[in-house]
Structure 1
Amino acid sequence: MDKKTVIDILNEIGLLLELKGENPFKIRAYYNAARALETLDEDIEVLVKDNKLKEVKGIGEAINKKITELITTGRLEYYENLKASIPGGLVEMLKIPGLGPKKIKTLYDKLDIKTVGELEYACLENRLVELPGFGEKTQKKILEGIKFVKRFSNQHLFSEAYSEADSLKQYLLKTGLVIRCEIAGSIRRKKEIVKDIDILATTNDPQKLMEIFVEYDKTRDVIAKGDTKTSITLESGINTDLRVVKDEEYPYALHHFT
Structure 2
Amino acid sequence: MRSSMLRRIACFAAVACMAGCYSKCMPTKTVTAPRHGGEGPIAVALPPSDSLGSISGRLRFVGTPPLRAPIEMSEASCLCLHVGGTVLEETVEVGPDGGLKNAMVWVAKGLDPALAWPLPAKPAVLTQAGCLYVPHVLSMRARQPLEVRNDDDVSHNVHTHPKLNEEDNWSQGPRHVDLLTTTSRHRTFTKAEDPFLVGCDVHGWMGARVGVFRHPFHAVTGEDGEFRLEGVPEGKLTLRIWHEKLGTRDVEVEVKRGVEAAVESEFGAP
What is the TM-score with the length of structure 1 in the denominator?
A: 0.21
Higher percent of residues as strand? 2
Q: Which has the larger radius of gyration?
A: 2
Which has the higher relative contact order, 1 or 2, with Cα contacts under 8 A spaced 6 or more apart? 2
Larger helix proportion, structure 1 or 2? 1
| TM-score normalised per structure 2 | 0.21
